Amino acid sequence: MMDARVEVRTYGEIFPTRAEILRYAGLGRGKEADAQTQALLDKALSLSRGALCGRVCFSYLPLSRKEGGLDLGFALTDSTDLARALDGCDRILLLAATVGVELDRLILRESRKSMAMGLLLGAIGTAAVEDVCDRFCQETGEALALTGLCLSPRFSPGYGDLPLALQREIFAYLDCPRRIGLTLGESLLMTPAKSVTAIAGIRATN
């Protein structure tokens, strides 16, 4: 029951930068990690290599403004922060991205042996899913630029006044479990843990 209005893209190779990973692991911005941390990071990167598989499912939807809020094409919202982020846009890109459940398993497994390793693997996952989103949005932005359009920055449920509960509608619309193996729990937690849902606006350049 796949809907062609939703498409899927996969990213076999994901390359988050060391600096990003260390920042997510709690190293202060601009600080140097010591040799032990760097060595542990090398090990974490090699462990994570086979466990990361980036998948994105996405759809383009019309955007309209109604009294008291936005019609996103799949849901209504009265979020003023999102309205501001989508200023000047008449379409949106709705996306969900994940790096897969194998990383969750690896984190669970390695944390049993070393919490420091668990922490670094978690940071790799966070950096990796951001990297997947960045690459996907860059590719999409480049394609849109050919037709004189551009993509606004991503905005996710839970940011500002956009309620987390919007996740339910996003999951129903994109059918994330079947398309990319991404599921939503009762408390709106996503599994696999290293996953992102987001909305980006599309508008004419300038």
Q: Which residues bind other proteins (CB under 8 A)?
A: 1-7, 10, 22, 25-28, 31, 33-37, 40, 53, 59, 74, 100-102, 104-105, 107-109, 111-116, 118-120, 122, 158, 164, 169, 171-175, 177-178, 181, 183-189, 191-193
Residue whose CB is less far from other proteins, 55 or 154: 55
CB of 189 to other proteins, least distance (A): 6
CB of 154 to other proteins, least distance (A): 19
Packing angle, helices 35-48 and 115-145, rounded to 10: 60
Residue whose CB is less far from other proteins, 154 or 179: 179
Residue whose CB is less far from other proteins, 178 or 203: 178
Which neighbouring-strand residues pair with 77? 70
Taking Cα atoms as reference points, which of 95, 185, 89 lies closest to residue 140?
95
For tokens 């309620």, what's the residue?
163
Residue whose CB is less far from other proteins, 59 or 77: 59
Taking Cα atoms as reference points, which of 52, 58, 42, 63 lies closest to residue 13?
52
CB of 73 to other proteins, least distance (A): 9
CB of 170 to other proteins, least distance (A): 9
CB of 166 to other proteins, least distance (A): 12
Q: H or E segment at 102?
A: helix 101-113
Residue 72 · residue 101 · CB < 8 Å: no
Distance CA 195, CA 122 (A): 12
Largest Cα separation within the chain, whole Å, is 57
Residue whose CB is less far from other proteins, 19 or 189: 189
Residue 74 · residue 154 · CB < 8 Å: no
